[in-house]
Structure 1
Amino acid sequence: MLDHSSMKTKSANSSTENSTGESQRFTRAQRLRSGRDFERVYARKLRAGNEHLLIFADRSPTQTTRIGLSVSRKNGNSVIRHRIRRLLKEAFRLAQHDIPEGIDMILIPRPGSNSTVLDYQKALVSLSRKLTRRIASD
């Protein structure tokens, strides 16, 4: 006889952990929430971008990597903007273990790029590494 409760638990765990057992959740501690944090990151004026994404970055006072999202009306109506936010959060969730620790980033999607989660994920990893090297050289 099959035990369905163990199957549910296994599938729930597999969606939140990667192959090495590390959590892939996007927690509240990984979000930039205060206006003061956004102002600090923008004031640093350290940025990098490509055709999918523009990222502003600064050192994180909490030693964890955190993101904030800024999706403007140039990207489309409310439904489209919220879809882009979901894609960016998912890209960060999937790539968080490939991103260097200890930086705060503000992610700004490029208007009209029609990017996928994979596009955002690749951009996030490469641009965050570039920004981390710049932060370390300061």
Structure 2
Amino acid sequence: MEKAYRIKRNKDFQFNYKNGKSVANKQFVVYIKHTEELEHFRLGISVSKKLGNAVVRNRIKRGIRENFKVHKDDIIPVDLIIIARQPAKNMTTLEMQSSLEHVLKIAKVFNKKIK
């Protein structure tokens, strides 16, 4: 993901936690904050150390980023924070993708109808 698509600062994470809406399924929690000044979505990923060592956490983050690369043009301009839950550590990339699509459909952040 390019830098313009990332949320990295703690201040931005905290603002989204306090002012955003949350949607969840068993594997992921998504915080959504609508902002008018954005041209595209921004993504922040949080994976706790409770989920595993660095190898496991980075595999989860890569799977999440891959899903957003696939749907880059389909997501409305919002700030998204994705928090991985315990079941996400045993999922493949394709399972992560379907779970993320499910929770993002619930959050209504897609421009178009996704199959």
TM-score range, shorter chain: 0.7 to 0.9
In the other structure, the counterpart of 1:84 is 60
What fraction of aligned residue pairs are identical, expressed as a percent? 30
**1:111 lines up with 2:86 in the alignment:** yes
Structure 1, unmatched stretches of 5+, are: 1-25, 134-138
Distance 1:63 1:127, change over 3 A: farther
Of the three residues 30, 39, 42, the one matched with 1:55 is 30
**1:120 lines up with 2:108 in the alignment:** no
Report the Cα offset of residue 73 of structure 1.
Answer: 1.0
In the other structure, the counterpart of 1:72 is 48
Distance 1:45 1:65, change over 3 A: closer
Higher relative contact order, chain-length normalized (CA < 8 Å, sep 6+): 2
Alignment root-mean-square deviation, CA: 1.9
**1:131 lines up with 2:107 in the alignment:** yes
Which has the higher Rg, Structure 1 or Structure 2?
1
Cα distance in 1, alignment partners of residues 52 and 87 from structure 2: 9
Contact 1:98–1:125 (Cα < 8 Å) also in 2: no
Q: Which has the higher strand share?
A: 2
| Equivalent pairs, count | 107
Q: TM-score, normalised by structure 2?
A: 0.79
**1:95 lines up with 2:78 in the alignment:** no
Structure 2, unmatched stretches of 5+, are: 110-115
Give the SS at the match of 1:69. Answer: strand
Report the Cα offset of residue 66 of structure 1.
Answer: 1.0
